[in-house]
Each structure stands twice: as C-alpha cells, then as structure tokens.
C-alpha cells in the first residue's frame, strides 16, 4: 500500500499521544516505538520526536493561557534553568542506549506511580492554575536537572515534572500539567536545534505526527478543567501502568504497532 497509510497512522497516533502528554505524560514511548518500527534509528527518532513535542505543547499552552490557568511569570522562572539543562543534555545525546532508556523509565514510572497511589491531596481537589507559584531556590536546581534529562532522553520527562511539581510545589495535577507543558514548550526548541545540527531529524515524520499532536493537545487542554482533577489523576495512573507493563515485558507496544502496520499492508520501512 502507498505511504499514505504511514501518514494516516502518524496523524492518528499523534492525536493519541497529544491527549496522553497533555493530561499525563509517557506518550513519547508510543512515538519513539512508532518511529523505530517505521525504520528510524533511535537517535533520529529521539530528535524527530521534538517536532511533535513543540507543536503539541505550544497548542496546549495557548489553550491554557486563554483559560487563564497559566501564570507566565512563574513559568518563565522555572523555564530558564530548564532551558540551560536542556541544551546541555542535548549536546551529550549523541548516542542513546536502549538500556539507558529502560532503566531511566523504570525508575521514573515506579517513583511517580507509587507517589500518586499514596498521595492524598486529590481528596480535596482545587484548581490553582493562573496564580503565582511559591518557588524556592531548590526548585531551580530541580528544573536544571529536569532540563538536562529532557534534552538527553526526554522519554518520561512529563512524569518527572509532574512528580516534582506535585510533591515539591504542592500543585494539583491539572496545574502541574499546565506548568509542565509551558516549560517543555520553551525548552524543547533548543534541543531540536542541536539534533538538527547533528542531522538527526526526519522532518516528514515529525510534521505528520505533529499534526496529530496538535489535534490531541487542543482537545485535551480544552476539556481538562471540565473533566476535573480526579479524572486526570486516574487517567495518568492508567497510562503509567501501561507504560510500565511495556517496559517490563508484560506487553509490547513495538509488536502491537508492527502488527497494525503489517495488517494495513505496510510493515516496517527498514526491518
């Protein structure tokens, strides 16, 4: 079948990833898996993913701004160290190991999942979006490290930001998602430039997938506040469990995607 099957699949999967990343995180696992199934080397997949990330978080940020759920001044304060760390992480991301991905993601998912299970703040949910945040000196260090992790690996970055903002800054999960999207949107373009300079970006894959990300992000960010903190929390935990199951081998997203593409007559581009 023609390549339009790939383009349609990139858009549809992008919609799903846009929803997942706007409300929770972990969608990069789907993106990276899809890109590698379609034949991109892991380094190129890592760089190409940044295009969709920028488009998705730009869309979500605009929506949250219109809803007055984002305090830009607070977001910028946290974004500055994140940008610095992001550039540094991207510069050392010349070779990405699957083992490093697995270890980092397993640690991140376990910590965040355990925290969300034992956290009791959701029982008295309140929306704090749009108000200035209380930022301590150690938050700048946290976001410098988060930026480095995002520039180097990125997968799981959303969960780490959620963990830090919910645990350390006492934010509800919706406000944490607003801050997460804004910071990732500001920091990611710098890492994308680094990957472009190293010829590790496939523009066609990135843009087609990015179109879907924009649609998914617009949908999720528009309805997130109406769905409420409780729904977003359970949605996040569900995605966490799915991602963790894939990491430890209970399920295989790679095999699922390969089977779907094969069913539609395409298979992988480079096997």
Quickly list DSSP for 60-113: HHHHHHHTT---HHHHHHHHHHHHHHHHHHHHTTTS--HHHHHHHHHHHHHHHH
Question: What distance lies between CA 124 and its chain's CA centroid?
Answer: 27
CA distance 255 to 62: 35
Q: How far is CA 146 from CA 2, 6, 82, 240, in A?
A: 40, 33, 6, 19
Predicted model pTM: 0.79
Look at residue 224 in the predicted model and tell me its pLDDT.
Answer: 66
For the cut 80, the answer to whether the pLDDT of residue 239 exceeds it is no
pLDDT tens, residue by residue, 158-213: 878 888 888 888 888 788 889 999 999 999 999 899 889 989 999 999 999 999 99
146 token code pair: 């988060």
Q: pLDDT confidence of 267, banded at 50, 70, 90?
A: very low
Which stretch, 25-34, 196-205, 233-242, 245-254, has highest mean pLDDT? 196-205
Q: pLDDT confidence of 41, banded at 50, 70, 90?
A: confident
Instruction: Write down the mean pLDDT value for the chain.
Output: 82
Query: Which of 38, 86, 54, 91 shows the shortest CA–CA distance to 198?
Result: 91
Domain ranges across the chain: 4-263
115 token code pair: 């925290």
| Residue with more model confidence, 268 or 164 | 164
Look at residue 129 in the predicted model and tell me its pLDDT.
Answer: 58
Look at residue 268 in the predicted model and tell me its pLDDT.
Answer: 46
Work out the average pLDDT over 142-162: 86
């Amino acid at each position: 079948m023609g390549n339009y099957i790939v383009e349609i699949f990139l858009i549809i999967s992008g919609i799903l990833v846009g929803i997942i990343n706007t409300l929770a995180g972990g969608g990069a696992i789907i993106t990276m898996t899809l890109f590698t199934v379609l034949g991109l080397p892991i380094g190129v997949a890592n760089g190409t993913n940044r295009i969709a990330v920028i488009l998705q978080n730009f869309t979500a940020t605009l929506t949250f701004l219109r809803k007055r759920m984002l305090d830009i001044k607070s977001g910028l304060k946290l974004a500055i160290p994140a940008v610095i760390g992001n550039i540094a992480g991207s510069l050392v991301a010349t070779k990405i190991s699957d083992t490093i991905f697995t270890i980092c993601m397993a640690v991140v998912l376990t910590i965040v999942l355990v925290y969300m299970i034992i956290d009791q703040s959701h029982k008295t949910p309140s929306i704090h979006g749009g108000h200035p945040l209380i930022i301590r000196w150690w938050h700048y260090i946290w976001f410098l490290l988060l930026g480095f992790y995002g520039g180097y690996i990125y997968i799981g970055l959303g969960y780490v930001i959620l963990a830090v903002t919910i645990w350390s800054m006492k934010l509800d999960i919706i406000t944490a998602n607003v801050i997460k999207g804004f910071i990732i949107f500001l920091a990611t373009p710098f890492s994308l430039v680094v990957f472009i300079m190293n010829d590790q970006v496939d523009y066609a894959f990135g843009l087609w997938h990015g179109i879907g990300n924009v649609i998914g992000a617009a949908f999720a960010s528009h309805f997130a506040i109406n769905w409420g903190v409780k729904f977003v929390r359970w949605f996040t935990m569900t995605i966490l469990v799915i991602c963790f199951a894939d990491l430890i081998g209970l399920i295989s997203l790679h095999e699922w995607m390969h089977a779907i593409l094969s069913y539609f007559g395409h298979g992988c581009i480079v096997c």
